Amino acid sequence: MAPPGRAGAHPTSAEPLSRSIFRKFLLMLCSLLTSLYVFYCLAERCQTLSGPVVGLSGSGEEAGAPGRGVLAGGPRELAAWPAAAQRKRPLQLQQWRRHRPPAPRDDGDEAAWEEETPGLALGPGGSGAGSSVAEPPPGTLALLLDEGSKQLPQAIIIGVKKGGTRALLEFLRVHPDVRAVGAEPHFFDRSYHKGLAWYRDLMPRTLEGQITMEKTPSYFVTREAPARISAMSKDTKLIVVVRDPVTRAISDYTQTLSKRPDIPTFESLTFKNRSAGLIDTSWSAIQIGIYAKHLEHWLRHFPIGQMLFVSGERLISDPAGELGRVQDFLGLKRIITDKHFYFNKTKGFPCLKKAEGSSKPHCLGKTKGRTHPDIDREVVRRLREFYRPFNLKFYQMTGHDFGWDG
């Protein structure tokens, strides 16, 4: 018979052994689960990413030289990256566009788009922020190398206020080769002191072959804007959406009236001396419509061939036709056609059957298409007489008769 001490000691020596085996089992199980989780995550990333991962600093800038990503494994990994990933890029880009969040709307623009309620072909649904190009958050830890880089705009919609600039930008955004910032940057009129680096950082990322755009209608009437844009790039393409200056002035007044119901009447603001018929050209609603005067400043820095003048009226009556001209001007393939639009009889505006980043119809928001107040016919007649010589000069300068005096 074994001594009592040895017999009693056997269970105590076996107990640590079983605990050790159990710990090893748990460790192996945890390692297996962790490996499966990592593999699953990598598999998911492979479906959404189309290139090697680039390290980013916490501030959102790529590690290394400003504006350039540092490949984690060096150039060999880039060369060895599967060609299949590159073939998937267009589909992945579309998926990313569909799921990105909207950028904040610029309060000064007011041109929100609203989504059509399903089942109501012509009834506008809830209003929302303008369909915009939003960037990944600054703290993103990884970024695809071929998601592109931020560039200064190659084309700018410089005017005019209440001419149809928001509609044009939203229509253009349907094109896969156009990337535009949603809110109006107001760089060349209000924020020029912040520098081009600040301005570039506002822009969306673009891939090779894509055009970066922005729109700020007040540029057209800002004296310093032409020289400043030329200093950035003499090759910048400029787009001006123009509209009958009388109708534009009334629309401008209507927008202000919606915000400040206590302002004087349109008639009283139009004249310095109504009995003498003296128009107050210091009032911005009147001044903006003297297109020929503003255009003279731009032609000192840009050739007329580098500017495209879009008819705000035709943008409503024939959006596909005007978009065709714009696409040609920008050197883009004519992708936006009649099939992208339908006319909303309730709003009196063309709407997109499918706006960028959405599978539902989109229309201009409730801030567009406001009912204009009744204006004294004599005041309208005098305004037309006032604008006529400026309009004729504008027609000569642009080589296009917009028909506002017919």
The whole-number pLDDT of residue 144 equals: 47
Q: Which phi and psi (to 5°) does residue 213 adopt?
A: -135, 160
56-108 tens-digit pLDDT: 333 333 333 333 333 333 333 333 334 444 444 444 444 444 444 344 344 44
Q: How far apart are CA 326 and CA 340, in angstroms?
A: 15
Going by their DSSP bridges, the two strands 271-273 and 278-279 should be labelled as antiparallel
Binding residues: 162-166, 243, 251, 368-372
Alpha-carbon distance values, 261 to 110, 257, 368, 374 (Å):
17, 5, 17, 15
Is the bond into 160 cis (omega within 30 degrees of 0)? yes
262-317 tens-digit pLDDT: 999 999 999 998 888 899 999 999 999 999 999 999 999 999 999 999 999 999 99
Q: Over pLDDT 90: what percentage of the chain?
A: 53
Catalytic residue among 162, 215, 237, 347: 162
User: For the chain (length 406 residues), average pLDDT per consecutive 10?
Assistant: 49 64 85 79 47 35 36 37 43 45 42 36 32 37 60 98 95 96 96 98 97 98 98 98 98 95 96 90 97 98 98 96 98 94 78 68 62 92 97 98 90
Binding residues for 3'-phosphoadenylyl sulfate: 162-166, 243, 251, 368-372
Task: Please say if 354 is a catalytic residue.
Answer: no
Q: How far apart are CA 238 and CA 304, in angstroms?
A: 10
Q: How far apart are CA 171 and CA 362, in angstroms?
A: 10
Q: How far apart are CA 5 and CA 354, in angstroms?
A: 85
